[in-house]
Amino acid sequence: MNISGELIAFFILSVSAIGGAVFMMNLTRVMHMALALAFTFFSIAGVFILLDAPFLAVTQILIYTGAVSILMIFGIMLTKHKDEENPPSFDIKKLWSLIGVGAFFAVVLWIIYQSPFFTSEETVTDFSVKMLGKSIFQQYMIPFEVTSILLLVALIGAAVLAKREEKRK
Amino acid sequence: MQQVTEIDWDILAPELIIMIACALLVILDLVLPSMISRRWIGLFSLVAVVTAGVWIVTQFGHSPVALLENTYRLTPVTLIWKLILLSGTFLVLLISLGEDQEEFAPNSGEYYYLLLAAVLGGMFMVSSADLITLYVGLELFSLSSYVLVGIRKRRGDSNEAAWKYVVLGGMSSAFILYGMSFLYGLSGSTNLANIQQYIVKAQGTYDWIIYLSFFLMIVGFGFKLASAPFHTWVPDVYQGAATPITSFLSVVSKSLAFALLFIMIGVFDGIDEGWESIFLPTLMIMAALSMIIGNTAALRQKNMKRLMAYSSIAQAGYILIPIATLNKLYFPSTFFYLFVYLFMTIGAFAVIMLVMRQEKNEDMKAFAGLHQRSPWLALAMTIFLISLAGIPLTAGFFGKMLIIMGALGMEHLWLIVIMVITTIVSYYYYFSIIRQMYFRKANTTRRIRTSWPIGIAISMSAIATIGFGVFPEWILNLVESLLFK
């Protein structure tokens, strides 16, 4: 395997993505968790740049690193909670779920490895934001519009569940 | 590529009606002064649902159309699905309008437009042949129903139900999406027709990926169908949700899950080897488990809503049989049973709601002596129960007969044996309710108060349950004339 700049960059980015995720699970303060998660999102954006998908990378930074992380931090700030979580305890239930998840992971990995992927290199057609726009607003116009209703429903639902009850007369 | 401006809006009209009504009601709810009862919003949504339903009936016989590269299509099958969804929503809206309890949600406008948004998502889902529309529609439905389950937020059991539903529902959606992603990765297309063609070519090399994707999706579908072994959420959520929403989940949500199963089964259709030896047996095992677990667990239930929840798990098992055996009759028999299931389930829930409201008691004993107090209600409940049990002269009997006849043709005798035995087991708990109504003495002689919308819903359901039992050819002819023209 020849070492190129791309490989080194990929190595650094993937280590920081995985590292962020591991830290997110192990940290005890909620705010630190949110920051670790933002770090993971950011590294994934870097991977997208390596894959020659600059638009996806920018979107990833804007939406995940920016919006989602900020949203989480706001959520943390606006809700009352104990800042520190109890250190994780270990019991038999957790052992079973660990075994289950591990088995599932092994099966998926085995299936992916025994399937003959990467046989030939496909040529990637030129990508432009214009094409993306056409595909969203022409071919996928219906799901796009339905998504807007989905967001409306999410908004209304959040308002319904969170609003304070009025005093009954 | 087809342009958006070239779309024939006539085809999309039912969805557009619901969408516009939903948007209008959101604004109306904001503008209307608070003295005006939000029941008007419910009435308006009822009108919208009826209009959309009538429009769909006028579309019968329309030649199949696909819009925007199959992200939306109109075929006879999609029309039937939409008719089922809208009829279910219509009855649910009626019984919601009749509920006047203070703490209950229909006093708020949100309840109605969330219901409309849910059915809108369902309608888009059944009429899509593209993974993206399919998933977005499914999520619109699920998201709205999560909120609807939790809308009685001052009640602890309702909060618990909503919490369980949202966590498990989110997980099942994730499983479905993961399964879909493998299909997309294999074929490079989200279009179902392309995926199907690709899968046929890819078998032999990518078999395991195809199986993995199938099983991931089946886990998600099993949850949405409320079929065993993915049924553990059902009793808690059904018990915690408001009764109209419980009936919505058990009818509309289940029908939608079956629509999804039908669509995805169509994609895997071309596979020779896995089809007979893996896919269909999986569905058969799910059907058998649902029938056994649902019917035996229902025996021990005293709470009416939990009993109906287990009964609905068992019914999911019956409805799974036609698709699992994939016999010649599978389309007509599934549609027939879903139509019939719609009326008898919502009818039964409407009576349960009335009795529970007056007695403030969810126990089966609340039904004691209903015969002396409100003979008509007791009669209607008896009709629904014997139809759910599958006694002759009711639609439920004919539905079960169709299922058995279809499965007999495919020589899956063990499944039929399980179905017959569990049906007999189910007689015990259905009849114990009837026994309460007719052979136990009532504690009070007060009549059960009924309001007109619930009265209409119950009598419509009762007439349909008997009518389709005596004249089953009405539905069957309709389905046949649409499908095999």
**For B131-141, what is each residue's pLDDT tens digit?**
999 999 999 99
Query: Please, which residues 127-146 of chain A have a Cβ atom closer than 8 Å to chain B?
Result: 137-143, 146
Instruction: Among A143, A157, A159, select the one facing B132 at the smallest CB separation.
Output: A143
Instruction: Among B143, B206, B212, select the one facing A153 at the smallest CB separation.
Output: B143
**Which pLDDT score is estimated for B274?**
72
Structure token digits, residue A34: 């949110």
Q: Where are the domains of chain B?
A: 290-485
State the DSSP code for A119.
-
Q: Mind telling me how many Å the CA of A82 is from chain B's nearest CA?
A: 20
State the DSSP code for B107.
G
For residue B361, give the 3-state DSSP assignment. Answer: coil
Structure token digits, residue A124: 């990637």
Greatest Cα-to-Cα distance within chain A, rounded to the nearest angstrom = 77
Cβ pair A111:B212 closer than 8 A: yes
Q: Does B29 touch chain A (CB under 8 A)?
A: no
Q: Does A125 touch chain B (CB under 8 A)?
A: no
**Chain A: residue nearest B158 by CA?**
A161
A5-18 pLDDT, tens digit per residue, is 888 999 999 999 99
Please state at what angle helix B375-389 crosses helix B413-439, rounded to 10 degrees: 170
**Which pLDDT score is estimated for B252?**
94
B258-275 pLDDT, tens digit per residue, is 999 999 888 887 777 777
The reply to whether ipTM tops 0.90 is: no
CA distance B104 to B89: 18
Instruction: Name all contacts of A27-31 with Cβ < 8 Å and 24+ positions apart.
Output: A28/A84, A28/A85, A28/A87, A29/A83, A29/A84, A30/A76, A30/A81, A30/A83, A30/A85, A31/A73, A31/A76, A31/A83
Q: Mind telling me how many Å the CA of B121 is from chain A's nearest CA?
A: 8
CA distance B211 to B203: 10
CA distance B84 to B89: 9
For residue A166, give the 3-state DSSP assignment. Answer: coil
> Would you say residue A168 has pLDDT above 60?
no
Q: Does A107 touch chain B (CB under 8 A)?
A: yes
Residues of chain B falling short of pLDDT 70: 1-2, 4, 100-107, 485
Cβ pair B3:A114 closer than 8 A: no
**Phi and psi at residue B130, to the nearest 5°:** -145, 135
Q: Mind telling me how many Å the CA of A157 is from chain B's nearest CA?
A: 6
Cβ pair A157:B146 closer than 8 A: yes
Instruction: Among B1, B120, B132, select the one facing A149 at the smallest CB separation.
Output: B120
Cis-peptide, bond into residue B229, ω within 30° of zero: yes
> Would you say residue A156 has pLDDT above 70?
yes
Q: Does A155 touch chain B (CB under 8 A)?
A: no
**Which pLDDT score is estimated for B471?**
87
CA distance B24 to B30: 10
Instruction: Among B114, B133, B206, select the one facing A157 at the smallest CB separation.
Output: B114
**Which pLDDT score is estimated for B450?**
83
> Would you say residue A43 has pLDDT above 50?
yes
> Would you say residue A64 has pLDDT above 70?
yes
**Which pLDDT score is estimated for B186?**
86
Q: Higher confidence at residue A163 or residue A137?
A: A137
Q: Does B145 touch chain A (CB under 8 A)?
A: no
CA distance A141 to B424: 50
Beta-carbon contacts of A63 under 8 Å, excluding residues fewer than 6 positions away, are none
Cβ pair B208:A111 closer than 8 A: yes
- The whole-chain average pLDDT of chain B stands at 88
> Would you say residue A169 has pLDDT above 50?
no
Residues on chain B touching A123 (C-beta within 8 angstroms): none
Residues on chain A touching B132 (C-beta within 8 angstroms): 140, 143
Q: Does A165 touch chain B (CB under 8 A)?
A: yes
CA distance A148 to A57: 23
Q: Does A124 touch chain B (CB under 8 A)?
A: no
